[in-house]
Structure 1
């Protein structure tokens, strides 16, 4: 039997005891039981269970990659406001600058969980390669590669230099190479799927994910982030905008954003304009504002809505609007900018009235002509609204050349646990 239920993620816990705990400061994830575990990972059942555990590590609770990346980017990019200064890691990020140091547990949890995901994904990919059922194996490889690529992309977003291999005293590479490593992992998965299309037996176990579509979307994202504009344009064009992929939750495994927002003790949106002002202030009729925020309580205060609305609200891995805005930006940043097509793509987001996730601006079309600089400013503005609290804001601020005065921090210091155990750890950035 190869079936595994994606919502029953707790089943993987027993099989994941071989992995290092999240508090480990090493990235080799060695365990005395390694030999017996490697034998177990020769079966499709064990590989499936570990694959489900990888999603758990990425998405669930406040140690996961998802929550901590949204939190770190949200404070650093002025999307979130702190409600309780007793939350020290959040206070550091909210204060910014030198207040953020290697003791910050949000950064450490994001770092450690990312490398745990990468390590476990590598093991599943290696095990899947040896399976006789290649159509099931390609599904496993594609599925865990989503989380591997997301984790590589996350560390490359927040740190200037990153390790892309697992082991002791591993070297660091430029963050751009981190994005390119994510793309290489995606290319490997897409090649496996092209050679052996994912079996219905496997795809039926992950109904909330269109694996191939998601891989192309992530490749488009990281191609854009690494300055490969032609590739970003091509990959975004391969993504179906009518097929969504989400992290789903249930009553046993709830949406972590909702649980934090509901406590009203950690953070909420910084304001009704999502932290944007001046020329970047949203139009008051922009329907994305009432999607992402709401006024609630007595007296009424701003609260997060959108993908934090309920305990079971799915969180998209990517939004259709992101793919459209990737095209708009790629056209504008080409060696010979294509400003006409860039504006056409931007207006698809500006005027959008239907969306599989409900993110619609429903505004009148923008009318040019615009210079390249003006168009890029508009793309930045609409990325900031469309992709609110997605964990992507800080990367966008750097890429669009926003002044450091608008950020709480540009790049993050390395966790002390990494520095204590890897002599290759670079010096911390000044800001």
Structure 2
């Protein structure tokens, strides 16, 4: 479009020459804000990385949904509809009925978009020579987080692992107009493993004195590799990765008051990775309000699973019969329900390795039992070591232990799904209509959000929705 001189002179107030006005019109506003001027230094990249970590608060939804659709929770005495449709397996792809199960899709892709945006600027930002190692470490952290986010999406929106089955879209660059197809599970897994492997090459080595549980490092990335290998049924790799984490001794198993204090954030013992909250009650308030209303309660099945000598019963569960509440994320020195997300703990590594020993091509029941017994000894007063005569018996014991140890931490539903087991609730926990979800039921795979289906003609919905 061509503007005449009179119009240009009017824009410039009538007193400037056309050349001067053109100069003014060509100027970029100095107070505008964009990614280009947001990411110009390593310090600014660090802020972008911090935001990527912040978006891992999406893991809270993993914890919530796993509790709602499994057998570890029931609707609480103060429930006024919170999570009720999800608990009853009545979720859909519509946000009004399926918001609990579809929100992870948007949350994790928003996290991935943030990561890809920062990664695109990282190679060219200004940095002093002394900052070059930091550039590599930040890239490693971003790649690790991207792999973890894609894995979380795979757990939610795909079936039990099969390389040929439908996975989720792989996003490796920021593009708000992208309309990606769903890759196969094998393709997604290959990208996840590539990101985690590349991340470890870039991240510095750590030991017990330099380890941090709030940033990605070689040890907790290895922990995620162990988790993912178990999911993939690559049992030897799961053993190898879990062994590396356990033998690093950065976070040994704890017991007694030290273990109990993990859950009030008085310490970070056993914690391999956590999402830190300064004052937010967003995790604890998923279960119980600061006013004491119990939205989502521990199931009777879970409560009954603990022996009276098991420290986890009083640590994880508060209240009394008929009015139990989730104590695992109840309070800290920062206030009621203001508790960090513990996304990975050393206890999980022992359970991963025990299960992998039992399921490996040549099962090692002695080594698997040793891991299970080590965990139980740390939790149960007077525990006597057990032996197992078959691999199936050891696997069953490990699954029971995961139920008790990792409740409300984002595992139970995914554990049942990857093992082809049903959700089986007690009659005291659920109406007969939603006591059972049988293996193979389409609701073991969460729906792709309806909004995504409408906006992206290249994607497809999961069966049944």
TM range (shorter): 0.7 to 0.9
Partner Cα separation in structure 2 for residue 426 and residue 34 of structure 1: 39
Report whether the alignment pairs 1:183 with 2:175.
Answer: no
Report whether the alignment pairs 1:193 with 2:203.
Answer: yes
- Whether the 8 Å CA contact 1:376–1:400 is kept in 2: the answer is no
Structure 1 runs not aligned, ≥5 long? 1-32, 60-64, 353-359
Partner Cα separation in structure 1 for residue 397 and residue 448 of structure 2: 33
Deviates more, 1:364-373 or 1:124-133: 124-133
Q: Counterparts of 1:116-265 in structure 2 under 5 Å?
A: 116-130=110-124, 132=127, 133-160=131-158, 161-165=167-171, 167=175, 168-175=178-185, 177-193=187-203, 208-209=214-215, 211-239=217-245, 240-243=248-251, 244=271, 245-251=273-279, 254-263=280-289, 264-265=292-293
Aligned to 2:459: 425
Alpha-carbon displacement from aligned partner over 1:34-92 (angstroms, at most 9, x marks no partner):
99413432421221111112222222xxxxx122111111111122222466436x122
Partner Cα separation in structure 1 for residue 33 and residue 74 of structure 2: 48
Aligned to 1:9: none
CA RMSD of aligned residues (A): 2.9
Pick closer, same or farther for the CA change 1:174–1:335 going to 2, 3 Å.
same
- Classify the secondary structure of the residue corresponding to 2:74: strand
- Whether the 8 Å CA contact 1:248–1:312 is kept in 2: the answer is no
Aligned to 1:398: 417
Aligned to 2:10: none
Pick closer, same or farther for the CA change 1:148–1:267 going to 2, 3 Å.
farther
**Per-residue deviation, 1:162:** 1.2
Structure 2 runs not aligned, ≥5 long? 1-30, 159-166, 252-270, 426-435, 438-442
**Per-residue deviation, 1:327:** 0.8
Q: 1:373 aligns with which of 371, 379, 392?
A: 392
Partner Cα separation in structure 2 for residue 156 and residue 363 of structure 1: 40
- Classify the secondary structure of the residue corresponding to 1:317: strand
Partner Cα separation in structure 2 for residue 315 and residue 365 of structure 1: 32
Q: 1:109 aligns with which of 103, 121, 135?
A: 103
Alpha-carbon displacement from aligned partner over 1:322-367 (angstroms, at most 9, x marks no partner):
0011111111111121222111111111112xxxxxxx34462442
Aligned to 2:87: 94
- Whether the 8 Å CA contact 2:288–2:296 is kept in 1: the answer is no
Q: 1:414 aligns with which of 433, 437, 448?
A: 448
Report whether the alignment pairs 1:76 with 2:69.
Answer: yes
Partner Cα separation in structure 2 for residue 143 and residue 268 of structure 1: 34
CA radius of gyration, larger in = 2
**Per-residue deviation, 1:208:** 3.8
Aligned to 2:56: 58
- Classify the secondary structure of the residue corresponding to 2:318: strand
Report whether the alignment pairs 1:307 with 2:329.
Answer: yes
Partner Cα separation in structure 2 for residue 178 and residue 93 of structure 1: 27
Partner Cα separation in structure 1 for residue 375 and residue 418 of structure 2: 20
- Whether the 8 Å CA contact 1:273–1:282 is kept in 2: the answer is no
Partner Cα separation in structure 1 for residue 110 and residue 319 of structure 2: 38
- Whether the 8 Å CA contact 1:183–1:223 is kept in 2: the answer is no
- Whether the 8 Å CA contact 1:156–1:176 is kept in 2: the answer is no
- Whether the 8 Å CA contact 1:142–1:212 is kept in 2: the answer is no
Pick closer, same or farther for the CA change 1:126–1:308 going to 2, 3 Å.
farther
Report whether the alignment pairs 1:267 with 2:308.
Answer: no
Alpha-carbon displacement from aligned partner over 1:172-199 (angstroms, at most 9, x marks no partner):
12345434432221111111126xx69x
Partner Cα separation in structure 2 for residue 373 and residue 234 of structure 1: 21
**Per-residue deviation, 1:403:** 2.4
Pick closer, same or farther for the CA change 1:382–1:262 going to 2, 3 Å.
same
Alpha-carbon displacement from aligned partner over 1:256-305 (angstroms, at most 9, x marks no partner):
22233341556333335527x7xxx3333221121111116xx9721111
**Per-residue deviation, 1:368:** 2.1
**Per-residue deviation, 1:379:** 0.7
